[in-house]
């Protein structure tokens, strides 16, 4: 069902401060930056090997990431697994009896399609399925 870990999502208070750390201090290459209204975040991708770290600054305190920051502070937010066929992956997750947050894919960074599995179904780890843009 999954090809590899696509990215780790990290909730941050300030994207520029986070890029100072990941890009400038840790030397990862910045690959992309995008305002994603559909997810209520401004996101930046930094690359490490074939994977990424997705830095997420909320656009508002009411967004998913905004509420996460208020409740738990900055830190690890989700893990994302890459799939070649997100509809099949959603079907397989549901067939396994696990609840999806997103029954249908929505838009992710760089034209990808993504869907989140409910964290109560995955031991408290918010899990994202990602089908990269082709």
Q: Decide if residue 58 touches Co ion (CB under 5 A).
A: no
Nearer to Co ion, 6 or 95 (CB): 6
DSSP category for residue 28: P
Residues 6 or more apart from 13 whose CB is under 8 A from it? 57, 69, 74
Which of residues 46, 52, 54, 65 is near Co ion by CB under 5 A? 54
Per-residue tokens: 126: 């918010």
Which of residues 18, 69, 80, 89 is near Co ion by CB under 5 A? 80
Stretch that binds Co ion, among 28-36, 53-61, 96-104, 119-127 (CB under 5 A): 53-61
Number of H helices, E strands in the chain: 3, 8
Residues that bind Co ion (CB under 5 A): 9, 54, 80, 128
């Amino acid at each position: 069902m999954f090809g590899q870990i696509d990215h780790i999502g990290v909730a941050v208070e300030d994207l520029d401060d986070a890029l100072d750390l990941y890009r400038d201090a840790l030397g990862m290459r910045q690959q992309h930056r995008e305002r994603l209204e559909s997810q209520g975040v401004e996101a930046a991708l930094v690359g490490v090997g074939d994977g990424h770290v997705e830095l997420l600054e909320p656009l508002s305190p009411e967004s998913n990431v905004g509420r996460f920051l208020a409740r738990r502070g900055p830190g690890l937010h989700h893990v994302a697994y890459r799939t070649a066929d997100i509809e099949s992956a959603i079907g397989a997750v549901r067939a396994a009896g696990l609840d999806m947050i997103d029954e249908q894919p929505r838009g992710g960074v760089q034209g990808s399609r993504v869907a989140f599995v409910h964290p109560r179904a995955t031991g408290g780890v918010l899990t994202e399925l990602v089908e990269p843009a082709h």
